[in-house]
Amino acid sequence: MEMEIMTFGFNFETTYRQLSPHFYTETEPEKSSSPEMLLFNTGLALSLGLEASALNSPEGAEVLSGNKIVGETPIAMAYAGHQFGSFTRLGDGRAVLLGEHVHAGQRYDIQLKGSGRTKYSRSGDGRAPLGPMLREYVVSEAMHALRIPTTRSLAVTLTGDTVRRETMQKSAVLTRVASSHLRAGTFQYAIIESEEAAKELADYAIERHYPDFADKENKYELFLEAVVHAQSYLIAKWQSIGFIHGVMNTDNMAISGETIDYGPCAFMDYYDPKTVYSSIDVQGRYQFRNQPGIAQWNLAKFAETLLPLLNENQEKAIEIAQEKLDNYKDLYQAYWLSDMVNKIGIPTPEESDVALVLDLLEIMEEEALDYTSTFRALSLGNIESIKVKDEEKLNGWLSRWKSALGEKDQSLEDAHMLMINTNPAVIPRNHLVEEALFYAEKTDDLSKVKKLVEVLETPFDDSHDEYYKRPPNEEEMIRNTFCGT
């Protein structure tokens, strides 16, 4: 019993350490002067089989700040990536992997983010400011509640120290949970090391994520196909909910298909496909409408790393890779259409439904309608709350929509039921997130952050206070978000 309490239930079995040493570096986290648990995800801890009450304590804060190590020395992982289109060598510059926690036959990476400088650190790396760590906790857990594949947040621990950005800020450590931290950029790093390194990493990834492929003759082809599927599904989910990642670099594309690295991310308020929130995306590379195409570009870079494994003949290998990449567009379109017709109460899409969806989005863009509240109003039948200048055009669409439901023998009541369970009443609206983070940073009071987390746990519940549901006023609009480095 004493051993179980000491380890807080962590059952580390870190297979990544079995890879060649150039894939990682053993790294001790920097010591925190006075670690304090600020946010703790009891539900996630329990689902992982951890001793939640013991971990949510001063002793647990020592572990989740990196002061005390459970198991082997943590590791920082090496990777590369295309950042805004330019290739560079990277790595965990402010994070370490505590280990792979195994529970109920599943394997989870437990990572400390903001734990100090590593071999791979660049300027701005190392410690992380409190605000971005709270942001990732809030938004990643909201994404989970919205049923979108994502990394999770177990805790935010204050270090008692400061980090310099424009000003001196409090630093904090986020404990992140992921099915793995294997990125497209990890494979880009491997292939510039050697073809043998790429094969070693691919074999490891297949064994970890797609073990059914391990004994197949064409396992690398199946692996590429699976990653294409996972990404097409994920990006369709982002588009359907109005989420903008902000930094879709190849090092931020997890091969598991989980959303990873919540930096300058945001959710659209009024519908505009050209929306950009990231302050560093001055060219609009990762604007909302570009996300599907950028994902395909990232997948192409990932596929390039597998070419030597797909076939000894390079032309044949390129042909195989191109075939898989060509499938992305159709897969994405199918996932996106399925999600979007569900948003208007249609359970199974048909080709004729594409125009119905696009025409509604056109109205929303022309009228600058709030993306989330418009779909929620339709879900609840509150048409009168959708204020437009061209009422004739909206009424024409509503008439076509009801006719389409009738042709499918879909009752309006059934449509509304599907829509209510598809279109959230609350999302992590940018002004609410920024207000909660500002309050936490300036007053040391996390009550607004904790309340926001609580509300976002049940995004399809209409009983939340109007404060959390309404779109921002003009003076509340957030037009720029910033990364933590």
Measured CA to CA, the distance from residue 127 to residue 16 in angstroms comes to 24
Q: Report the chain (485 residues): mean pLDDT per 10 consecutive residues.
A: 64 96 96 97 98 97 96 95 89 95 97 95 84 96 98 97 85 98 98 97 98 96 98 98 95 97 92 86 86 97 98 97 97 98 96 96 97 97 96 97 94 96 97 94 92 98 96 82 59
DSSP 8-28: TT--B--GGGGS-GGGEEE-P
Which of 370, 404, 362 lies closest to 387 in space, CA to CA? 370
Please give the Cα distance from 96 to 76 (Å, whole number).
5
Q: Binding site for ATP: which residues? A: 91, 93-94, 113, 125-126, 176, 183, 261
Q: Is 426 helix (H, G, I), strand (E, B) or coil?
A: coil
Pairing of strands 36-40, 95-103: unpaired
pTM: predicted TM-score of the whole model, two decimal places: 0.95
Residue 483, pLDDT score:
59
Annotated binding-site members: 91, 93-94, 113, 125-126, 176, 183, 252, 261
Catalytic residues: 251
Coil, strand or helix at 370: strand
At a CB cut-off of 8 Å and minimum separation 6, what does 37 contact?
56, 57, 58, 60, 61, 64, 155, 157, 158
CA 118, chain centre distance (Å): 24
For residues 198 and 302, what is the distance between their CA atoms, to the nearest angstrom?
11
Nearest-angstrom CA–CA distance, 485 and 93: 10
Q: How many residues does the chain have?
A: 485
C-alpha pair distances (Å), 106 with each of 7, 321, 476: 18, 30, 42
What are the angstrom distances between the C-alpha of 300 and each of 175, 188, 207, 225, 403? 31, 11, 22, 12, 41
**318 close to 224: Cβ distance less than 8 angstroms:** no
Extract the annotated binding site for Mg(2+): 252, 261
Q: How many CB atoms lie within 10 A of CB 263?
A: 19
Identity (one letter) of the amino acid at 251?
A: D
Dihedral angle sign, alpha carbons of residues 429, 430, 433, 436: negative
